[in-house]
Structure 1
Amino acid sequence: MRSSLPKPSIANVLAHFYGLDIKASRGRQKVCCPLHADSNPSASVDVTGNRWNCFVCNLSEDSYAVIMRERNCGFLEAQEFARTELGGDGQDLPPDVPGQPSRGLRSSSGAGRGRSTVRPGLRPFGSTWA
């Protein structure tokens, strides 16, 4: 049985799929959500916690959950993709950034909010809505 690898960094995963430039030296960073049209940043990336979330989409994911959603695959396939395509172990992060156990995709509905459906590859980051 293979040993468990640490998660790939959320910064690397978001850069790979959406072209987002996340500074690994920051704890939290606001960004425009790559999954919907966004003129003001409605999402944040927590480099320390290795997660991102969008307040409009009502979506919170770790790096493996992003890979699984975008590639439409299971956890083991996402691990293999991270290992082969992204270097998979998050070792490019500063040593003071601890790994967090994966909680996968989390979506909750708050009071007065409807559930949003987020589809993989909805729009490439930086594209315009015409």
Structure 2
Amino acid sequence: MNRPRRSVVKPPISEVLKHYYSIDVKQRAGWSKILCPLHVEENPSASVSTEKQRWNCFVCQVSEDSLDVIMREEGIGFREAQDWAHERFGGSRQDVPPAVQGEPGRGVHQGSRPGRRGGQVRPGVRRFGADWT
């Protein structure tokens, strides 16, 4: 028996990026360039969309929404990330569906895939502005 899907209430990507990485994202149409919070760089290789509520890095091959960021940074699952986001950022929990077993995640890719650079992005790789020396 298939349950009807309900929408998931997520915190705005701009608030999550500000919370974890001190990145200020301006509300605007389209994609904005930002420095990737997962690796050191001088020129922006990442972008964020407040319309689509996602960010991605072309170097790391990472594409995440706000709940993906919370799950990675806090080291928690989907349902726990929803609860954490609700406590931190507020919002309604009425439209949040129960966890669905067997559905793959969409966040950080673990391991290499054909046609992509090898290597992994680990949770908590670095905080924005971390010293690498």
Shorter-chain TM-score range: 0.7 to 0.9
Q: Does 1:118 pair with 2:121?
A: yes
- Per the TM alignment, residue 25 of structure 1 is displaced from its structure 2 partner at its CA by 3.0
Matches within 5 A, 1:8-23: 8-23=11-26
Q: Secondary structure at the match of 2:82?
A: helix
Q: When the two structures are superposed, what TM-score results if normalisation uses the length of structure 2?
A: 0.75
How many correspondences in the alignment?
Answer: 114
Q: When the two structures are superposed, what TM-score results if normalisation uses the length of structure 1?
A: 0.77
> What percent of counterpart residues are identical?
49
CA distance in 1, matches of 2:114, 2:78: 28
Q: Secondary structure at the match of 1:129?
A: coil
Partner residue, 2:71: 68
- Per the TM alignment, residue 75 of structure 1 is displaced from its structure 2 partner at its CA by 0.7
Moved more, 12-21 or 23-32: 23-32
CA distance in 2, matches of 1:36, 1:42: 10
CA distance in 2, matches of 1:88, 1:12: 13
Q: What runs of 5+ residues in structure 1 fail to find an aligned partner?
A: 90-102
CA pair 106-129 structure 1, distance change in 2 beyond 3 A: closer
Q: What runs of 5+ residues in structure 2 fail to find an aligned partner?
A: 1-5, 93-104
8 A contact 1:58–1:109 mirrored in 2: no
Tell me which of 21, 42, 46 is aligned to 1:43. 46
8 A contact 1:33–1:42 mirrored in 2: yes
Partner residue, 1:85: 88
Residue type at the aligned position of 2:52: G
- Per the TM alignment, residue 115 of structure 1 is displaced from its structure 2 partner at its CA by 3.2
CA pair 45-84 structure 1, distance change in 2 beyond 3 A: same
CA distance in 2, matches of 1:118, 1:106: 7
Partner residue, 1:95: none
Residue type at the aligned position of 1:64: L
